[in-house]
Amino acid sequence: MSFQVDDTPTFNLKAVVQETGLKPDTLRAWERRYGLPTPERSEGKHRLYSQRDIDILKWLNARQDEGLTISRAVDLWRKLEGEGKDPLVELMVAEPVAASPALVGPALVEFKNAWVNACLVFDEVQADQVLAQSFAMYPAETVVLEVMRRGLVQIGEQWHAGTASSQQEHFASELCMRRLEALIASTSPTRPGRILIACPPDESHTFSPLLINFLLRRQGWRTIFLGANVPLTRFESTVIQARPNLIIFSAQQLHTAATLADLAEAAYPLRIPVGYGGLIFTLVPELTKRITGYYLGDSIDQIAVAVERLTSSPPPLAQPPALPDGYAEAMAHYLDRRAMIGARVWDLMPDLAATLHPLYFSIANTHLAQNIYAALRLGSMDFLSADMAWIEGLLHERQIPRHALIGYMQAYHQAASEIMDGRGEPVLAWLRTVTGGDNGRGQ
């Protein structure tokens, strides 16, 4: 998808002020001192700006947000032009700009640790007091990123290690969500345009997109937050009605990366840029080549910079590669047989069935099935490697020994081999790899 920048002089000064948020005096001063942009004049001698002129102004403004003075920003523009590069494209495809040094010190680390400890003992009053003290000493963005976000990450790591429970993690997440929603409600948009933020189908983790919502609202953006599990049905009509300048999707899991890909494809004909991110793309970077959109990077701290670039002038968008031979047929075949495979696994593992609650077995079965389908949809069974840790973590929380995971995968391989035919070869080949080629149980 290629976004052509129109050079036709169309917009008057008032329209440009509304679009960029810059004052008329600033626009005139930049034109007079630096020769950027260079609007044409109407017959009545009024300035007429093109879409490229507007994008230049947004580009210069974004460089100021990164810490450059306007004169340095202009120098950078001239330097890139002198090298034969288009600055509106060049920095978008370059390496991300390093974040400004965060206001991180011993006090913030102590606040984070105190907040985590309060959450782990379900002390809401103490947790809120810690945050209140943090906000009194540091900017809201710093507290949200360095205390709340890092605190949640720490609790998540403790859950995976088996030293924290799902209930403790959910309690901390709920406190964060409430605080973020209150902070967002206190902001007022000051910039033109809209940004739509959503989770794809089946994605229930809303902290990251809500954090994006907060950071963009603090930058003055007008956002439309759709929340978790946004269905594909009627999504196109929603976008047409909302008329956003940018759509942002967030996925944390492999199977929701696949549903994100479906949403991004649905948005493609609407000619609206799609940005996306999430933990799964950090764990499996190759996935970024399979989405019809712009990856926003591994660091949420730089989201405002990435959004500024995408709303100014997004670069040409590469199309994802076609699925490998046999993958489409394997997808249909696996969808048809996966329920039977799951039922057969239960029969093959009477020992695990006796120790693991049926609900947890069903969750593990469903999750693995979703991700096998997602790997097929996204074009590589290798994408499943990062997901095995999730199932291991689930078993660990239920105090099921690690060898149970090996036995589970062997049983799944045996069940799939019994129930699927040659059309399922991509799935069967992957199962052979992860089980060492053993079709039997625990041999």
Q: Which CATH number does the domain housing residue 265 bear?
A: 3.40.50.280
Q: Name residue 342's beta-bridge partners.
A: none
Q: Which of 186, 215, 232 is the last residue of a domain?
A: 186
Q: Are residues 74 and 20 in the same domain?
A: yes
Q: Are residues 44 and 107 in the same domain?
A: no
Q: Are residues 425 and 364 in the same domain?
A: yes
Rounded (to 5) percent helix, strand, coil in the chain: 65, 5, 30
Q: How many domains does the chain have?
A: 4
Q: Which of 166, 186, 206 is the last residue of a domain?
A: 186
Indicate whether 10 pLDDT > 60. Answer: yes
3-state secondary structure (DSSP) of residue 317? coil
**251 occurs within a structural domain:** yes
Q: Are residues 334 and 408 in the same domain?
A: yes
**309 occurs within a structural domain:** yes
pLDDT digits (tens, 9 = 90+) for 286-343: 999 999 999 998 888 778 888 888 888 788 888 899 999 999 999 999 999 999 999 9
**5 occurs within a structural domain:** no
pLDDT at 101: 36
pTM: 0.72
Q: Are residues 160 and 235 in the same domain?
A: no
Q: Do residues 385 and 393 make contact, with C-beta atoms less than 8 angstroms apart?
A: no
Q: Are residues 306 and 338 in the same domain?
A: no
Indicate whether 5 pLDDT > 90. Answer: no
Instruction: Label residue 388 by pLDDT band (50, 70, 90).
Output: low
Q: Do residues 134 and 105 make contact, with C-beta atoms less than 8 angstroms apart?
A: no
**CATH at residue 47:** 1.10.1660.10
DSSP code per residue over 331-356: HHHHHHHHHHHHHHHHHH-HHHHHHS
The secondary element (H helix, E strand) that includes residue 390 is helix 388-397
pLDDT at 2: 37
Q: Are residues 29 and 65 in the same domain?
A: yes
CA distance 131 to 354: 45
236 vs 160, more confident: 236
For the beta carbon of residue 263, count every other beta carbon within 10 angstroms. 27
Q: Are residues 78 and 162 in the same domain?
A: no
242's CB contacts (< 8 A; 6+ apart) are 194, 196, 224
Q: Are residues 177 and 205 in the same domain?
A: no
Q: Are residues 416 and 343 in the same domain?
A: yes
pLDDT at 189: 87
| Among 299, 434, 440, residue whose Cα is nearest residue 375 | 434
Q: Name residue 106's beta-bridge partners.
A: none
Q: Are residues 278 and 200 in the same domain?
A: yes
Q: Which of 186, 206, 235 is the last residue of a domain?
A: 186
**245 occurs within a structural domain:** yes
Q: Are residues 313 and 359 in the same domain?
A: no
Residue span of the structural domain in which 158 resides:
101-186
**CATH at residue 109:** 1.10.1240.10
**124 occurs within a structural domain:** yes
Indicate whether 429 pLDDT > 90. Answer: yes
Angle of the 303-312 helix axis to the 51-65 helix axis, nearest 10: 170
DSSP code per residue over 106-165: HHHHHHHHHHHHHHHTT-HHHHHHHHHHHHHHS-HHHHIIIIIIHHHHHHHHHHHHTSS-
